[in-house]
Structure 1
């Protein structure tokens, strides 16, 4: 025989459907649980006392005795040996009040009704969002008045170009940070055309706010370049770098800062350092780079080739420099044990790069850092680059 605990467990599965049916305007109750445990003849003859106790417990917590909660519906059952017995046949919740009192959801239910009305009155479009996210409306910790202030601000100012702390919204300073998951869900629904990137998790970057951007460092390797006046080495925010359109033919990107700083003079070329390593990802949306000859110089190790592969996923024509078998063999005495890379196949490497990458997978000393390559070798190698 079903117990009150089992009834509650089953009834709690209806919580979300109840909220959704309320938004739809559908009637959810009465609702019944018909499978409450089949009573066999043996229960009457051999386990009668246990059965009586189970039925007594069922009734003790029921609407039949307390006046609210689940109602026990009975039916006559005939058994060959013991005759007719009036036994529980189904459990019925007649009203939403019966349901929320029994399941302990009364406070949450009242919050849901209050918050849903508040949300829809404020922004009627959020009905569709509420259907998918109805449980948010039952959380007593959420200040929906302030949440809606934030929503209205972004609806009216989808790209304010301000820092998060500058937004003129009458909420406490860290309100958005403290409620970022909910607010992001709402803004994704309300302003889908004003999302910088769906893969971007950081709030400010996702919604075109100002933020402490990565700095991209640039060196003029051609002494005749005058795009920055007399400056030959500058750092600018990523968004400004994305707006540039320099009159140069070549862009040389390096993994290591010191190698970046010691690159020799080169005709119609700038050097770029985005922070080293996988921070090359900062450069993925720089449209003007597509028109340039891009060169990448990284460490000769498994991760270096993965970074090269990553850069080619943005700019397929990227050429590697000093990441070849000849260079590795020339400075092999300086190779050391490096961290292994789980990647087995890097589809964007060329034939020689693949050969070296596979070789590194099989050797213990699988890392030759850029810094170990002599300056003379670098300058000789780069003499004809891009010519």
Structure 2
């Protein structure tokens, strides 16, 4: 036989459809809870306790909640007994008091009215997302302020904290998920649909990633940067650089970027800190297309996977100091990090052979463990 706990679980599953019926202005209809009409107790006292438990939490006993309808049935072993054949909630108040949701539904109705007064076009979204209305119960007034601002100013070109909206400075950042959903509908013709970053999607300024690079040609450093050879600028600024260079060396680790200070003078060359998979930030640097590109990463599976990624942007990329001879000379038995990548990589035959060895043995040789003298000699002979 069904227990009060099971009745509550089944009633809770009907709560969301009930909320949807409120938005759709449907009158409350009797909510029926399907119950197990069988009984599990073999003795009369146990059976009576089972019945007493279900009755104790019913409207008959508590004044609200579910109503029980009984039918006299001839049972096997217990004779003729009154068994519950129907369990239902007669009214909205019975249902909500049983779930302890009266106040929540009152606030839900207020929130729905606020949203529809400002944006009647959100009606279908509300019907599909009643739980989100409740999850943001105390924030709707400010959420609507944000939406109203963007509807009037769909391309603000300001930083989030510059927006002239009378909400807490961190409000939009903390509530991006629901605001994004709403703006996608309210200003759909103005959004950058392929962008996932909130600021890019909704035409806002944002703190761009920085590209850190070293100018290895002192004459270029002097002419263009007053002798400064170690710089960091935003991605968009880096994409517009116009330097008289022929070669770019991308290095995986920051420590290796410092190593380039000791390199022999390299004419017409800059070295860039790629930051591992951060090479993604370089994918739209169109002036790379006409240059000689070199990638120097750790000799491990991730190093070659990053090389493959960078080469997918710029097919002319060559690897440096990522060969079997360098590995054999300086490998100290370090363990690497197992790869999760199973796709075919964009590597040369020799690179792929070394990658397979590293992958099978989980080996790693970090850039920092290659002696400066060896590195200097390598580039001196290039």
TM range (shorter): 0.7 to 0.9
Correspondence for 2:236 among 211, 234, 239? 239
User: 2:4 maps to what in 1?
Assistant: 4
| Aligned-residue RMSD, C-alpha | 3.4
Q: How many Å separate the matches in 2 of 1:212 and 1:273?
A: 19
CA-to-aligned-CA distance 1:68-109 (integer Å, 9 cap, x gap): 321112334345888765431010112322211111111111
**Match runs of 1:1-387 below 5 Å:** 1-26=1-26, 29-39=29-39, 47-79=43-75, 85-139=81-135, 142-191=138-187, 193-194=191-192, 197-198=195-196, 200=197, 204=199, 207-221=202-216, 223=219, 228=224, 230=226, 233=229, 234-244=231-241, 248-255=245-252, 256-266=256-266, 268-274=268-274, 276-290=275-289, 292-329=291-328, 332=329, 334-343=330-339, 347-361=345-359, 366-369=364-367, 372-374=371-373, 375-382=375-382
Q: 1:385 aligns to what? A: none
Distance 2:241 2:203 in 1: 19
Whether the aligned pair in 2 keeps the contact of 1:249 and 1:293 (CA below 8 Å) is yes
Gaps of at least 5 residues in structure 2 are none
Q: In structure 2, do the counterparts of structure 1 residues 186 and 225 end up closer, same or farther at CA, with 3 Å as the change threshold?
A: same
With normalisation by structure 2, the TM-score equals 0.81
| CA displacement at 1:145 relative to structure 2 | 0.4
Provide Cα deviations, 1:99-130, integer angstroms capped at 9, x if missing partner: 11111111111111111111122122322332
Task: Sort the Cα spacing of 1:4 and 1:52 in 2 relative to 1 into closer, same or farther, 3 A.
Answer: same
Report the count of equivalent residues. 371
Closer, same or farther: CA 114–335 of 1 in aligned 2, 3 Å: same
CA separation in 2, counterparts of 1:288 and 1:186?
Answer: 39
Using the alignment, how far apart are the partners of 1:290 and 1:25 within structure 2?
A: 61
Structure 1 stretches lacking a partner, 5+ long: 383-387
TM-score (norm 1): 0.80
Q: Could you say what secondary structure the match of 1:125 adopts?
A: helix
8 Å Cα contact 1:71-1:92 kept in structure 2 = yes
2:381 & 2:125 partners in 1: Cα distance? 59
Give the distance between the partners of 2:355 and 2:84, measured in 1 at CA.
73
Whole-Å separation in 1 of the counterparts to 2:301 and 2:86 = 66
316-325 or 370-379, which deviates more: 370-379
SS in 1 for 2:165: coil
- What is the alpha-carbon distance in structure 2 between the residues aligned to residue 178 and residue 362 of structure 1? 44
Q: Which whole-Å CA distance do the structure 1 matches of 2:311 and 2:333 have between them?
A: 26
CA distance in 2, matches of 1:357, 1:83: 78
77-86 or 248-257: bigger deviation: 77-86
CA gap of 1:247–1:354, structure 2 versus 1, over 3 A, is same
| Deviation digits for residues 295-318 of structure 1 (CA, Å, limit 9, x no counterpart) | 212233333223212323433442
Higher mean C-alpha deviation, range 65-74 or range 217-226: 217-226
> Aligned to 1:59, what secondary structure does the other structure show?
helix
Cα pair 2:334 2:364 within 8 Å, conserved: yes
Offset of residue 158 of structure 1: 4.0
| Aligned partners of 1:163 and 1:210 also within 8 Å | yes
**8 Å CA contact 2:30, 2:91 repeated in 1:** yes
For 2:85, what is the secondary structure of its paired residue? strand
Mark the CA change 1:125 to 1:269 in structure 2 (over 3 Å): closer, same or farther.
farther
CA distance in structure 2 between the aligned counterparts of 1:242 and 1:271, rounded to whole angstroms: 15
Identify which range, 95-104 or 259-268, moves more after superposition: 259-268
Cα shift at 1:171: 0.9
| Shift in CA distance, 293/160, structure 1 to aligned 2, threshold 3 Å | farther
Q: CA offsets per residue over residues 158-184 of structure 1, 9 Å max, x none? A: 443333322211012222344344334
* TM-superposed deviation, 1:252: 2.4
